Amino acid sequence: MGKDFNVVGTRLPMMDAAQKTKGSALFTDDLILPGMLYGRVLRSPLPHAKILNIDTSKAAKLSGVKGVVTGNDIPDRQYGIVPMAKDEYALAKGKVRYIGDDVAAVCAIDPEIAEEALDLIEVDYEELPAVFDPFEAKKEGAPVIHEGIKNNTSFAIKKEFGDVKKAFAESDAIFEDTFFSQAVNHAPLEPHAALAQFDPLNGELTVWSATQIPFFLRRNLSNTLQIPESKVRVIKPKVGGGFGQKIDMFAKDFCAAWFAMQLGKPVKFVYEREEVFISTRQRHPMYITVKTGLKKDGTILAQQFQSYADGGAYNSTAPTMMALSCFFLMIPYKVPNLFYEGYHVYTNKPVGGAMRGHGIPQARFAVERQLDLMSARLGLDPAEVRIKNSIHAGEPHSAGFVINTCGFSESVKKAADAIGWSEKRGKLPHGRGVGLAGASFPSGVSNMSHISSGAVVQVGRDGAVNVLSGAADIGQGAETVISQIVAEELGVPLEDIRITAADTGITPLDPGTFGSGVTVRAGNAARLAALSAKQKLFNFLADKLEANVADLVAKDRKIFVKGTPEKGMTFLEALKAYQYADLPMPIVGRGSWMAPADEPTTLFKQDGNFAPNYSFMTQAAEVEVDLITGRVKLVRMVTAHDCGRPINPMLVEGQLEGSVVGGMGQALYEDAIVQKGQMMNPSFLDYGFPTFLEMPEIEAIEVETDDPIGPYGAKEAGEGTQLSPAPAIVNAIYDAIGVDFMELPVTPEKILDALEAKNKKG
């Protein structure tokens, strides 16, 4: 594969890395405006209750309090991140549906007074019966959480192709197993925050928000505040991690805007860590039953799934999450016959939303665990079974996915080799083991409307390049990756690029950071914009250099005719000539990009390609189980990873390393424990995600493919690698101690219980 790129494919520090090391990178809570007020949200202490009355008079009278607002005061406009599933009010109207639900808000001249004021708001509740388990919630007679939603099931998805019954009849073996994935919290280091400012003269609202979705946030603010989108500007400052938790509008966004509009003063809301745990989002707990029919050589003939997502009190991304969870059972293995039914069920608990992998980690856990279970039952090697069933590029896909590039089977071989599969699997001393698991993830989604991205590239006469992109960098380095693509296209180094991003008042549209679509979608848009600027320059230069436009090359700050780099001009000379020819400066290029699809469609109604391209990976784990304490140490995790061509290998590694530790947390350490609707461990102390001392050895192996759709051949690298660490680890635990775990997390207590049970059996 041609490695003749200058900027793309290079390990480069993020453009704002130095700023971040100096502490001068500004996050939302670092922004201050003159006269700024501070807001806090009052939350429900009850899981399900009618709001009979809210008395805010004492709070309003407290010296220093400038405003109080409740659900009674705000417009009757529900919102949601997915329009068809909108079911939330910014502040609860009529009733509260979980402990932590937003009830009222105050703002005051300083944070201490705001906190005091919360205590002075008196709410009369009439407690209602609550339900905390999705299976109980979907029964007839269960408490109704949202009016009109039968059986508390807000979303259901059914998908089938082929003939599952026939395929089962033809199978040599059929296995049915049920799995459970727990509630996990994203726990980004930066708490959710928003700062709003309103200009009463022109009626324009500006909101700085720690968000992954500036444009969707703008829309939701516009809808709920009942002002035109054109009057709302959302700006994303630096964001301190999101992982999906900063998708959605939250009370902090609405209430900051509300007070700013009412009072004509800037208002800032910052959530306490406890609020981030309880009142934002978490990964849906899911119960998944898989029934698989196989030939005795391990070939999958059919799979039947039943999946229940414990949704918590509101929908958030429910339809998207369930769709992803369903569709990503159809990849990376060939499943010729499939039946899937999935249900998103409300409960009176913290709300499930998008979290790194978005419904797929839970599905992957079920499938990858079952592959190992079945391999053991049939006496087959788990790695070989995966290779045998692997899909390949260019093959027709049962659901209509278009797989242009696929390094999956290669990734299985490479991961297995790297972990020492043949020397270790089944051969290590009791307490040590290896396991592996595969996965695939879309690079953004094709088949949903409004998923397009725009970019503008301006080349000034001094050679400096300005990029405008809507992309939301939340720490993954999106701005750097986009800038590298532009730099490559224009033949200049990264340091010549300046980027302004994620400001709905200035930058073109981009849906935001979710579904791992940024590099492909925003990257392609930026590439087209750079190309468009370059074309203008080339069209002009073609005459000057007496060449065809198609033969011109931009590289190393030079423009020359292919094959004769010594002849040509410098980038600066070219720009000067362009300017002196009375052509308008700066040179502006525009581009927008949407994934190719014959027509906008959703896969609920018909088959088709889900994403512009798909990443593939296999992760192999080596674990050591302390047989006395039951503690599992992830010693080493190898990821063999096909993300096409990585635009910035160092940033891709960063994603991978973070994913592995996050997946390890999900497997072994983390659990958002909810009892009777109340989260018992809403702190960094009690919700223990891994520290430096839990770090495994992490190794990344590139499986390079060159995707035709991705910019410079790139595919996603942000989420796929968090899909399979958990099953790889649990598969390795089986190898280590001969115990199969069907649920997460696998805690020392569970290990000891299992070992005791095993010893009793003899």
Partner 1 sequence: MKEAIELNINGDTYELLVSPNYTLLEVLRDKLGLMGTKRGCDLGACGACTVLLDGEACLSCLMLAVDARGKQILTIEGLAEGGDLHPLQEAFVQKGALQCGFCTPGMILTAKAILDEEPHATEDEIKHKMAGNLCRCTGYKKIVEAVMSVTTSSGKEV
Partner 2 sequence: MRLPKFEYFEPEDLKAAVAILQKEPAAKILAGGTDLLVNMKHRVECPPILVNIKRIADLDYIRQGDGDTRIGALTSLKRLHVESLIVENFPGLAQAASAVGSYHHQVMGTLAGNICQQNRCMYFNQSKWWRSTRPTCYKAGGEICHVVNKKEICYSAYCGDMAPALMVLNARIALEGPDGSKEMPIEDFFSGDGKIPLVKAPAEILKEIIIPKAAADGISSYIKFANRESIDFPIVGTALWASENEKRYRVAFTAVDRKPVRGKQAEDFLNGKELSAENVKAASDLAAKSAKPVKTSVYAPSHKRRMMGLLLQNAVNEAKRRASE
For residue 202, state whether it binds partner 1 (rule: CB under 8 A).
no
Q: How far apart are CA 707 and CA 705, in angstroms?
A: 6
Residue 125 CA to its chain's centroid (Å): 36
**Shortest distance, position 118 Cβ to partner 2, whole Å:** 8
**Shortest distance, position 33 Cβ to partner 2, whole Å:** 22
For residue 83, state whether it binds partner 1 (rule: CB under 8 A).
no
Region near partner 1 per CB under 8 A, out of 290-298, 540-548, 647-655, 666-674: 647-655
Region near partner 1 per CB under 8 A, out of 294-302, 548-556, 571-579, 654-662: 654-662
Among 12, 14, 15, 46, binds partner 2 (CB under 8 A): 46
For residue 45, state whether it binds partner 2 (rule: CB under 8 A).
yes
For residue 361, state whether it binds partner 1 (rule: CB under 8 A).
no
**Shortest distance, position 354 Cβ to partner 1, whole Å:** 16
- Amino acid in the structure at residue 225: L
**Shortest distance, position 247 Cβ to partner 2, whole Å:** 25
Closer of 545 and 634 to partner 1 (Cβ) = 634
Phi, psi of 619 (to 5 degrees): -115, 135
For residue 237, state whether it binds partner 1 (rule: CB under 8 A).
no
Q: What is the SS3 assignment for 703?
A: coil
Phi, psi of 11 (to 5 degrees): -80, 110
Restricted to residues 688-727, the positions that interact with partner 1 (CB under 8 A) are 689, 691-693, 695, 698
For residue 680, state whether it binds partner 1 (rule: CB under 8 A).
no
Among 7, 29, 79, 527, binds partner 1 (CB under 8 A): 29
For residue 17, state whether it binds partner 1 (rule: CB under 8 A).
yes
User: In this structure, are residues 737 and 755 in contact, taking their beta carbons and an 8 Å threshold?
Assistant: yes
Q: How far apart are CA 595 and CA 41, in angstroms?
A: 40
**Shortest distance, position 216 Cβ to partner 2, whole Å:** 29
Q: Pick the closest to residue 195 from 315, 107, 127 (CA basis).
A: 107
User: In this structure, are residues 320 and 354 in contact, taking their beta carbons and an 8 Å threshold?
Assistant: yes
What is the residue-wise DSSP string for 219-232?
A: HHHHHHHT--GGGE
Alpha-helix runs per DSSP H in 425-570: 478-490, 518-544
Restricted to residues 669-688, the positions that interact with partner 2 (CB under 8 A) are 669, 673, 678, 680-682, 684-686, 688
Closer of 38 and 616 to partner 2 (Cβ) = 38
- Amino acid in the structure at residue 104: A
Restricted to residues 472-501, the positions that interact with partner 1 (CB under 8 A) are 474-477
**Shortest distance, position 634 Cβ to partner 1, whole Å:** 11
Strand partners, 697: 636
For residue 699, state whether it binds partner 2 (rule: CB under 8 A).
no
The partner in contact with residue 743, picked from partner 1, partner 2, none with C-beta cut-offs of 5 to 8 angstroms by kind, is: none
**Shortest distance, position 755 Cβ to partner 2, whole Å:** 11
Q: Pick the closest to residue 433 from 739, 112, 32 (CA basis).
A: 739
Among 240, 361, 454, 720, binds partner 1 (CB under 8 A): 240
Restricted to residues 93-132, the positions that interact with partner 2 (CB under 8 A) are 99, 111-112, 115, 118-119
Region near partner 1 per CB under 8 A, out of 183-191, 423-431, 483-491, 596-604: 183-191
For residue 751, state whether it binds partner 2 (rule: CB under 8 A).
no
Closer of 104 and 300 to partner 2 (Cβ) = 104
Q: How far apart are CA 291 and CA 168, in angstroms?
A: 9
User: In this structure, are residues 415 and 638 in contact, taking their beta carbons and an 8 Å threshold?
Assistant: yes
For residue 460, state whether it binds partner 1 (rule: CB under 8 A).
no
**Shortest distance, position 612 Cβ to partner 1, whole Å:** 24
Q: Pick the closest to residue 50 from 127, 148, 130, 154 (CA basis).
A: 127
**Shortest distance, position 19 Cβ to partner 1, whole Å:** 8
Q: What is the SS3 assignment for 171?
A: coil
For residue 39, state whether it binds partner 1 (rule: CB under 8 A).
no
For residue 189, state whether it binds partner 1 (rule: CB under 8 A).
yes
Phi, psi of 375 (to 5 degrees): -60, -45
Alpha-helix runs per DSSP H in 287-407: 318-327, 360-378, 382-389
The site map against partner 2 for 621-660 (x = CB under 8 A) is -------xx-------------------------------
Tokens at residue 520, please?
């492909």
**Shortest distance, position 112 Cβ to partner 2, whole Å:** 5
Q: In Å, what is the CA distance from 314 to each residue of 277, 280, 324, 677?
A: 15, 11, 18, 14
Closer of 238 and 295 to partner 1 (Cβ) = 238
Closer of 329 and 717 to partner 1 (Cβ) = 717
CA neighbours within 13 Å on the CB side: how many for 525? 27
For residue 272, state whether it binds partner 1 (rule: CB under 8 A).
yes
Restricted to residues 4-43, the positions that interact with partner 2 (CB under 8 A) are 43
Closer of 474 and 485 to partner 1 (Cβ) = 474
Q: Pick the closest to residue 669 from 28, 184, 221 (CA basis).
A: 184
Region near partner 1 per CB under 8 A, out of 12-20, 508-516, 533-541, 625-633: 12-20
User: In this structure, are residues 354 and 703 in contact, taking their beta carbons and an 8 Å threshold?
Assistant: no
Q: How far apart are CA 110 and CA 89, in angstroms?
A: 27
User: In this structure, are residues 625 and 741 in contact, taking their beta carbons and an 8 Å threshold?
Assistant: no
Greatest pairwise CA separation for the chain in angstroms: 89
Q: How far apart are CA 731 and CA 657, in angstroms?
A: 20
Region near partner 1 per CB under 8 A, out of 10-18, 117-125, 140-148, 368-376: 10-18
Tokens 């702190």 locate to 683
**Shortest distance, position 189 Cβ to partner 1, whole Å:** 4
Among 25, 174, 542, 588, binds partner 1 (CB under 8 A): 25
Q: How far apart are CA 648 and CA 159, in angstroms?
A: 37
Closer of 19 and 53 to partner 1 (Cβ) = 19
Q: Pick the closest to residue 417 from 639, 157, 712, 158 (CA basis).
A: 639
Q: Torsion over CA of 199, 201, 202 and 207, rounded to 10 degrees? A: 10
Q: Pick the closest to residue 14 from 484, 397, 339 (CA basis).
A: 484
Q: What is the SS3 assignment for 96?
A: strand
Q: What is the SS3 assignment for 688?
A: coil
**Shortest distance, position 683 Cβ to partner 1, whole Å:** 6
43 sits in which H/E element: strand 37-43
Among 693, 760, 761, 762, binds partner 2 (CB under 8 A): 693
For residue 160, state whether it binds partner 2 (rule: CB under 8 A).
no
Binding site for partner 2 (CB under 8 A): 43, 45-46, 99, 111-112, 115, 118-119, 272, 274, 628-629, 669, 673, 678, 680-682, 684-686, 688, 690-694, 749, 752
Binding site for partner 1 (CB under 8 A): 11, 13-14, 16-27, 29-30, 32, 111, 186-191, 238-241, 243, 270, 272-273, 474-477, 650-651, 653-654, 657-662, 683-685, 689, 691-693, 695, 698
